[in-house]
């Protein structure tokens, strides 16, 4: 009798919990066209002086465009590889900086060079078309 009751309870619990789990589990976003973005016109090159950066939206994630002191253009996914804060370019130290726990990255390669981040930033492709800076997926 006890075992029967126990079995029923466990089965019933499982039957009740599974729909609740599925109800709560996030849907994989397939239809969301924002995630399909492949390139973004960020700004005019003339609007972005050397040794400065610009944060912008790339589809569903934040991104960062940098015009380095040596006239290079680089773009990265601006999501810190430590705990996911949004990074920014800091001209005073000429590095990409994460304000959350002080992580730092190299602005040309995106390599993690100081603080807690374990991995480099994901990089994006940059092109200049008629003075417009266009960033696209690498």
Partner 1 sequence: MAAELQQENKLAKLIGNFLVSRLSLADLQHLAAKKKVPVHKHSLWYYMGGITMIYFAVQVVTGILLMVYYVPEINAAHASILKINSQIDFGWFIRSLHSWGSTLMILSAAVHLFSSFFMRAYRQPREITWWAGLVLMILCLAFGFTGYLLPWDDLSFFATKVGLDITAKAPLVGGLLGPLLKGGNMISQATISRFFGIHVAILPLTLISLLAVHLMLVQSHGMSEPAAFADTPPEKRRYEPFFPDFFFKDMLVWILALNVLFVLVVLFPWGVGPEANPFAPAPIGIKPEWYFLGAFQFLKLIPPMVGPIEGELFGILAMSLVGLGFLIMPFIDNGSQRRRALLATIYGVAVVLGLIFLSIWGALS
Q: Mind giving me the DSSP string for 101-136?
A: T--EE-TTT--EEESS--SPPPEEEEEEETTEEEEE
Nearer CB in complex with partner 1: 45/113: 113
Distance CA 99, CA 108 (A): 19
Residues near ligand FES, by CB under 6 A: 80, 82-85, 98, 100-101, 103, 115-117
- The yes or no reply on residue 121 touching partner 1 (CB under 8 A) is no
Lookup: tokens for 131: 């003075």
Which one among 65, 75, 105, 117 touches partner 1, defined by CB under 8 A?
A: 117
Nearer CB in complex with ligand FES: 39/123: 123
Q: Which stretch binds partner 1 (CB under 8 A): 9-17, 42-50, 111-119, 127-135?
A: 111-119
- The yes or no reply on residue 51 touching partner 1 (CB under 8 A) is no
Nearer CB in complex with partner 1: 63/126: 63
| CA distances, 17 to each of 4, 6, 23, 26, 130 (Å) | 20, 16, 10, 16, 57
Nearer CB in complex with ligand FES: 78/133: 78
Residues recorded for the chain: 138
């Amino acid at each position: 009798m006890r075992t029967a009751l126990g079995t029923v309870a466990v089965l019933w619990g499982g039957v009740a919990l599974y729909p609740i789990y599925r109800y709560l589990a996030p849907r994989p976003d397939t239809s969301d066209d924002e995630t399909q973005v492949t390139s973004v016109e960020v700004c005019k090159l003339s609007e972005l002086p050397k040794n400065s950066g610009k944060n912008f939206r790339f589809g569903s994630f934040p991104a960062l465009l940098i015009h380095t002191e040596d006239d290079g253009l680089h773009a990265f996914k601006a999501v810190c590889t430590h705990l996911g804060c949004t990074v920014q370019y800091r001209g005073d130290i000429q590095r990409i900086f994460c304000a959350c726990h002080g992580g730092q990255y190299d602005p040309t390669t995106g390599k993690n060079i100081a603080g807690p981040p374990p991995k480099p930033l994901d990089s994006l492709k940059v092109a200049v078309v008629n003075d417009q800076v266009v960033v696209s997926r690498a």
